[in-house]
Amino acid sequence: MLSKSVLIFLVALATAGLPFEVSRADETLPNLAGTYRCEPQPAPCRSGERFTVTQRGNEIEFKSENGFGADAKFTSPISLTGSAPWNSLGVIAPDGHIEWSNGTAWRRI
């Protein structure tokens, strides 16, 4: 579990000084649109268990089954930064799941 936290910290540190836009035109962003299940890892899923993700370019919108919504932007092809009220950083794993700095992980279903 410590290695996941270290990975999130390193990605956050590497992208902290970047603008909230993808800086290179040749970087391809992954398609994150779909439905995800929140997995407590180790933090509980407080905002819902299932989320619908819509994507427009580098902007992401999340909506839970209970109506909670939030936005995020890509900071790189493998990282996201969530806006208020979450203010969390996300790392996109090679298999497409998202690991959040709040201690949860989202898997596409």
pLDDT of 34 over the 70 cut: yes
The mean pLDDT of the chain is 83
CB count, 10 Å around CB of 96? 14
Between these two residues, 2 and 71, which has the higher pLDDT value?
Answer: 71
**Model's pTM, two decimal places?**
0.73
Four-point Cα dihedral 94, 41, 69, 108, nearest 10: 40
